[in-house]
Amino acid sequence: TALSDDDFFTEVGFTGAFGNVNWASGWSALADYGFLGDQAPADFGRETVSGQITEDVTWSADNEYILDGLVFVTGGATLTIEPGTTVRGKAGQNLDASALIITRTGKIDAQGTATNPIVFTAEFDEGLTKDDVGLWGGVILLGEATTSNETEKKIEGVNEIEDDPALAGYGGDDDADNSGVMRYVSIRHSGINIGSSSGNEIQGLTMGAVGSGTTLEYIESFASGDDGFEWFGGTVNSKYMISAFNSDDGFDWDQGFRGKGQFWFAILDTDARGHAAEMDGASPDDATPYSNPTVSNVTYIGSGSSNTTSGNTSPLIEFRDNSAGTYTNSIFTADNAESVTVEDVAGSEVDSRGRLEADELNITYSHFFDFGAGDAATMFADAEEAYTGTELALTANANTGSVDPQLLSVSRTTDGGLDPRLASGSAARGYADFTALSDDDFFTEVGFTGAFGNVNWAS
């Protein structure tokens, strides 16, 4: 802490001169004259894992685990990961990419704590920053919940390495399916290209047909080369999710996702980025079920209302491909484009505009502030999409378009200046309304809009 403002010091998680890597090895007289012996990092508290895990196994915090290629948990096995464990994706891309895949017949039990989280990161991660994206694959959960797909699907990219549907496939008819537990898990620097085709990046956390029996809480995706989180169908619920400085979308749903979420936080970089959230409905658009989740208490911070460096003009959030859905009690702020757009497909009877006009797409009790496209109704869309502002009318839906929610501070540098909690006099305090959600035990009733009140649960 006392050295955090000094760029000279490299921050590490150990005291003393050496952690897992002996930096004196290979060049010093101690090495040349035989004092050190064989000091390969893999022989010091590291275990390389590859192929399939078919029996219950526990990964201990005493070791670090190196994913060598695609590692599948399958055949009824449960992978237990102790608090404080670090899992690293071995360097390699395309057919040699590394990732952890919990198949439909496997489970994960990864329960870190606030002071002892479980970290998934790149094989070599010392000195990395938010700009170091796409260094390994990521974590994939596959389940047996329903999707909008008529036939079984396999995760893109993984299907080009592993054709067995028992390993790469997702989907079924059990919306209460249980893929396990992930809690206090940080996934960093993921999103490398997987498979033989280009554009096959997976996300920090990719979810295929994951069911509502699964527990996802306090999960971070940081510096992904693609999305932070993506749901392909399924019904899984999640709380306390962080998507920070990812190259594409912060949150992305598709193929009939119908889960619930609360306390989601996204912050976009000023450089390459997509949307804070991209909401896709189904594939094809007229398939059922289409996406229709309910999400409360998000804070989405864009790339800055006056930012022109990257040339990004994507709206902060976008509904398309017949997606419905509800956001409520939320804060959308600080972006150089429009706040929200809703796709209208000419000549189509199934698009997100149709879901909007059927009252299946709603944003209520939320704050929109500081957009390059302006405040009030004009920030919703350009003149060609005036229906978006009309249907999401500020007054009728209890939204505000020119009131500063007063986040304590926003920074995208390592100066300790990011604090997305609410100032004491914030208009977002006391503004939330849980009447429509009062019969759902999933949602925690709080007295504020946005993801943070007095407590910064990301800390």
Instruction: Tell me the mean pLDDT in the region 120-143.
Output: 95
pLDDT of residue 219: 98
Answer with the residue of higher pLDDT: 234 or 43.
234
pLDDT at residue 345 above 60?
yes
pLDDT band at 226 (very low <50, low <70, confident <90, very high): very high
Task: Tell me which of 15-29, 68-82, 86-100, 246-260 is least confident.
Answer: 15-29
Residue-wise over 116-140: b if at least 16 C-beta within 10 A, else e? ebbbbbbbebeebebeebbbbbbbb
pLDDT of residue 23: 82
pLDDT of residue 38: 62
Answer with the residue of higher pLDDT: 5 or 333.
333
What is residue 372's three-state secondary structure? coil
pLDDT of residue 42: 45
Instruction: Tell me the mean pLDDT in the region 31-53.
Output: 77
Task: Sort residue 306 into left (φ over 0), alpha (ψ -120 to 50) or beta.
Answer: alpha
Amino acid at 182: M
pLDDT of residue 384: 57
Residue 15 buriedness (CB in 10 A; 0-12 / 13-18 / 19+): exposed
Look up residue 101 and give its two tokens: 């895949």
State whether the Cα torsion 306-308-314-316 is positive or negative: negative
pLDDT tens track for 166-210: 999 999 999 999 999 999 999 999 999 999 998 887 899 999 999
**Share of residues in the chain with pLDDT > 70 (%):** 93
Cis peptide bond prior to 293, omega within 30° of 0: no
pLDDT tens track for 240-251: 999 999 999 999
**Share of residues in the chain with pLDDT > 90 (%):** 71
pLDDT tens track for 59-81: 999 899 999 999 999 999 999 99
> How far apart are the C-alpha atoms of 274 and 226, rounded to whole Å?
9
pLDDT tens track for 267-326: 999 887 889 999 999 989 999 999 999 999 999 999 998 876 665 678 899 999 999 999
pLDDT tens track for 382-438: 555 667 777 776 667 898 888 899 999 999 999 999 999 999 999 999 999 999 999
